[in-house]
Amino acid sequence: MRAGIGMVLMLLAASLQADIYRSEARFGNTSFSDRPSSGAEPVQLNAAPYRYQFSVRHVIDGDTLVLKNGEKVRLIGINTPEVESRYTRAEAGGDAAREWLRQKLRSAQVWLEYDVEQRDKYDRQLAHVFLEDGEHLNLSLLEQGLAMLTLIPPNLRYSQQLIAAQKLAERAGRGIWQKPGYQPKPLSQLIPGESYSGWQRWQVTPRRIAESRKYINLIVSEHFEIKIAKSLQDSFPPLTQYLGQPLEVRGWLRRQGQQHFMIVQHPSAIQQR
């Protein structure tokens, strides 16, 4: 019985890094949950995040691999350029990121560490990937300039380390940061109604704030706005601080008619110029 309870505690602590609650049911049965309930008491858990060992079958691209059990794994916190496939066109730097990851995984052994959300909408596992010597591959891809930082709450473990790794690569001009397609574009180059593919950098100056049902919108011009979900607003500084400031916004540019917008999920995607 004690072994079973210990395993439950270990799995809960490892997977979520959240508050865990202990409750006593009838006849002395004990249960644990990440949700508080009447009479439940918080449990102090000091265990380090747990890592699970797997064998790798192959690498799809710089941020996605397939385990020998058939599960796809998407590296948390980063995005690498696309490689040529049935569904995507090749982007500059995509082949280099894939080849780098293939070389790193020649031993075919990895250790996966999960965050709060363990799967994405495509049912891929979301994980930080480590080698036996402790190398954090998500972070190394950023350091080498092979990936772009893409932080999506609530999976923010190691966020500060990942942010620092990208800054290091940018300053050194490594990898994608020296390629023409990854340089920031002035707003004067925006063509209303045109579609833009791939990860983008745009230089903007927000003028005012507007609200919709789900978003707080930083209005840059009649053709460009930055959208921040109301549910994520508390993780940003007061949005009025962005008004009138020359910024660089990073991510994927979407279009609705003549209007372009970028949905930003973490403050790291908005840089001061």
Active site residue 124: yes
Mean pLDDT of 148-160: 97
Confidence grade of residue 4 (pLDDT, cut at 50, 70, 90):
very low
Q: Residue 256's pLDDT is what? A: 94
65 vs 42, residue with greater confidence: 65
Q: Active-site residue among 82, 113, 143, 170?
A: 82
Which of 74, 113, 225, 250 is an active site residue? 74
Q: Supply the pLDDT for residue 30.
A: 47
Quote the distance between the C-alpha of residue 28 and its chain's center.
42
pLDDT in tens, 217-250: 999 999 999 999 999 999 999 999 999 999 999 9
| Domains detected in the chain | 2-43 (no CATH), 51-178 (2.40.50.90), 184-272 (2.40.50.140)
pLDDT (0 to 100) of residue 77: 98
Catalytic entry in 102, 124, 157, 201? 124
**Is 82 a catalytic site residue?**
yes
What pLDDT, on the 0 to 100 scale, is given for residue 47?
Answer: 57
Helices (H), 128-217: 137-143, 159-172
What is the C-alpha end-to-end distance of the chain, expressed in Å? 58
Beta strands in 148-238 (DSSP E): 148-149, 185-186, 199-204, 208-211, 215-221, 224-229
What is the pTM for the complete model shown? 0.81
The pLDDT tens digits for 7-28 are 444 444 444 444 554 555 443 4
Question: Which residue in the block uniquely carries the two structure tokens 């994980």?
Answer: 127
What is the Cα Rg of the chain in Å? 21
pLDDT at 8: 41
pLDDT tops 60 at residue 268: yes
Reported as a pLDDT band with limits 50, 70 and 90, residue 79 is very high
* 40-50 per-position pLDDT tens digit: 666 554 456 89
